[in-house]
């Protein structure tokens, strides 16, 4: 790639409440996300997406644990939290709070993780589910809730145990 072919980056101030929308729009422009926006990840892939939905195995989780990308490391922290309460949905705001992150920063990591999963695992699904539900946080009528089922939680915990 020549210098002329390399993308030029320009800093653009964006109001905090729109950061996740800008991330999603940029991903759409570059063809790295199938979703037009971050509002509902559980519905983010259309039926004509060529990538399959594939169950996550213990080996997949072991591979994820050693991935150095910061978005993958953030996601492993999410998996650690959710695996301790399989079947229980954790709201986006609560998840960000428990991780010690700003909501917009968490959204950026989720967007990057989605691109990573598509590229490195050739699948379109996360090992957790996402559903929009009525929110209990002040200022959020509706919120995304993240849940790990018992099978995925068991596999994640087995992978973590093998790590030691």
CATH of the domain at 133: 1.10.10.10
- Map tokens 């920063």 to a residue: 105
Task: Give the model confidence (pLDDT) of 106-119 as tens digits.
Answer: 999 999 999 999 99
For residue 126, being part of any structural domain is answered with: yes
For residue 6, being part of any structural domain is answered with: no
Task: Give the model confidence (pLDDT) of 129-164 as tens digits.
Answer: 999 888 777 777 788 999 999 999 999 999 999 986
Is the model's pTM score more than 0.75? Answer: no
For residue 10, being part of any structural domain is answered with: no
* pLDDT in the model for residue 137: 73
Summarize the confidence of residues 33-37 as an average pLDDT: 34
140 CA to centre of own chain: 20
The total domain count for the chain is: 1
- Of 1, 4, 164, 161, whose CA–CA distance to 83 is shortest? 161
For residue 36, being part of any structural domain is answered with: no
Straight-line distance from the first to the last Cα atom of the chain, in angstroms, rounded to the nearest whole number: 42
More confident residue, 46 or 6: 6
Rounded-to-integer distance, Cα 66 and Cα 57, Å: 15
* pLDDT in the model for residue 41: 37
Domain that holds residue 61: 18-31+52-163
For residue 117, being part of any structural domain is answered with: yes
Task: Give the model confidence (pLDDT) of 74-92 as tens digits.
Answer: 999 999 999 999 999 999 9
For residue 38, being part of any structural domain is answered with: no
Residue-by-residue DSSP string for 54-119:
-PPPHHHHHHHHT---HHHHHHHHHHHHHHTSTT--EEHHHHHHHHT--HHHHHHHHHHHHHHHHH
For residue 81, being part of any structural domain is answered with: yes
* pLDDT in the model for residue 152: 96
């Amino acid at each position: 790639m020549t210098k002329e072919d390399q993308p030029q980056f320009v800093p653009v101030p964006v109001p905090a409440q729109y950061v996740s929308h800008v991330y999603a729009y940029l991903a759409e422009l570059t063809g790295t996300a199938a979703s037009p926006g971050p509002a509902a990840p559980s519905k983010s892939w259309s039926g004509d997406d060529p990538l399959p939905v594939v169950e996550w195995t213990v080996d997949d989780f072991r591979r994820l644990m050693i991935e150095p990308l910061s978005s993958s490391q953030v996601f492993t922290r999410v998996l650690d939290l959710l695996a301790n309460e399989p079947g229980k949905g954790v709201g986006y705001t609560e998840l960000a709070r428990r991780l010690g992150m700003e909501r917009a920063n968490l959204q950026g990591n989720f967007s990057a993780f989605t691109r990573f999963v598509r590229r490195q695992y050739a699948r379109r699904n996360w090992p957790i589910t996402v559903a929009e539900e009525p929110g209990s946080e002040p200022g959020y009528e509706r919120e995304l809730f993240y849940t790990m089922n018992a099978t995925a939680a068991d596999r994640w915990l087995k992978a973590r145990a093998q790590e030691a």
